Amino acid sequence: MLERRGRSWDGRRAWPATVVLVTAATLGAACGDEGGEAAGDRGEADVETVDFEATGAFLASASERSTAEPYRFETSIAMTIAAEGESVDVDAPFSSGAVDGDGFVQHIDMNEYMDQMTSSMGAGGSMPDLDLTIDTVVDGETMWLRAPMFAQIGELGGAGTVPPVFTEMGDGWGRVDISALGPKAVGEATRLGGSPTGGDPREILAMLESADDVSELGEDTVDGDPVEGLSATMSMGELVEAGGADLDAVTEQAAAQAGDELSPEEAEAAAQAMLEAEMPIEAWVDDDGYVRRVVMTIDMAEIATGMGEQVPDGDQFAIGTTIEFTDYGGTGIDVAPPPEAADAVDLTEAFTQLQAMG
């Protein structure tokens, strides 16, 4: 049992509030880029081939080179929780897709992620039978979205949790005018999939350009290719700013999402502590100077300690995201919407409502 400002606080109640705050800020970092230049809009990179160096400048050059080329990506999520004799241990694939300039395609599949989650919590078989997939296609001005789970949730009595048009589109496609809503709409579509660490891999690569305190990690392989690793740290606040989001807006959003878990003053203090917390980042670069793997880890226990909590010895709460990048410059990468998306339902107004809900 945690003691907090003179009153007893059950750790199982404390942790969810922390998770909400951290998730809000991290998604702000990954989904920001308001008024900024999207990673896919940079044109051709003008970067000379350089020898591997454990420096921020080298990491920035690798990031710039990587975002200028088409590529494929795969994302996995690892989560470790241990508190009060209970534990959760998840390490599962989460999404895959490709990028080519302004074009972006992603397939989220949460089945294995949720299977491991429920099994680890001893709740196997308790999950509703939902289609836990989300497909997103972007061409720079329009985003197409397919998410059958919304209609299924509506059938189970949860229709009030999302705008009706999302349930009405069933297992078909919806269309969002991102030229009207702004680049962050793409990342917020990933939020609908419940990714603990946000979403758009183009923004993840762009974040590396501002990393410092770089050190060597050694050698490894990605998809059979040799890579060398670099370790860096960034504060959550630096990640938010790197994504183009406003720190004050993220703090307000985090406080609002804390709900009844924390008082307004406590929520603001927690958000500030969260923004100051450091997050380690690994970047693995191949011989051609392309980023092939990025690993980000959020240590909730460290953030809770920064909030003034007394975290019992042995308690753990960490969330990690690994993104692997392959097929740079591939000529077979297709990011066009499928033919059936031609009849997509217009979700722009409904998506605006979701944005307003945070």
Structure confidence by residue, pLDDT tens digits, 113-155: 888 888 877 654 455 678 888 898 988 788 898 988 888 877 7
Average pLDDT for 72-92: 84
- Report the b/e string of 249-264 with b at 16+ CB within 10 A: ebbbbbbebbeebbee
Length of the chain: 358
- Report the b/e string of 291-301 with b at 16+ CB within 10 A: bbbbbbbbbbb
Report yes or no: 125 and 318 within 8 Å, Cβ to Cβ: no
Q: pLDDT averaged over the chain? A: 74
Q: What are phi and psi of 162, to 5 degrees?
A: -140, 155
Task: Please report which helix (H) or strand (E) contains residue 108, including its range.
Answer: strand 103-109
Distance CA 315, CA 318 (A): 10
Average pLDDT for 286-307: 83
Bridge pairing between strands 86-100 and 71-83: antiparallel
Which of 242, 244, 270 minimizes the C-alpha distance to 258?
270
> In terms of pLDDT, which residue wins out, 259 or 232?
232
Give pTM, 2 decimals.
0.77
> In terms of pLDDT, which residue wins out, 187 or 310?
310
Give the pLDDT band of residue 243 (cuts 50, 70, 90). Answer: low
In this prediction, residue 245 carries a pLDDT of 64
Q: What percent of the chain has pLDDT over 70?
A: 68
Q: Which residue has the tokens 């048009």?
A: 165
In this prediction, residue 257 carries a pLDDT of 62
Give the pLDDT band of residue 46 (cuts 50, 70, 90). Answer: very low
Distance CA 228, CA 268 (A): 40
At residue 261, does pLDDT exceed 80? no
- Out of 40-54, 232-246, 264-278, 284-298, least confident range: 40-54
Average pLDDT for 290-312: 79
In this prediction, residue 306 carries a pLDDT of 66
Nearest-5° Cα angle at 177, 173 to 182: 130
In this prediction, residue 327 carries a pLDDT of 93
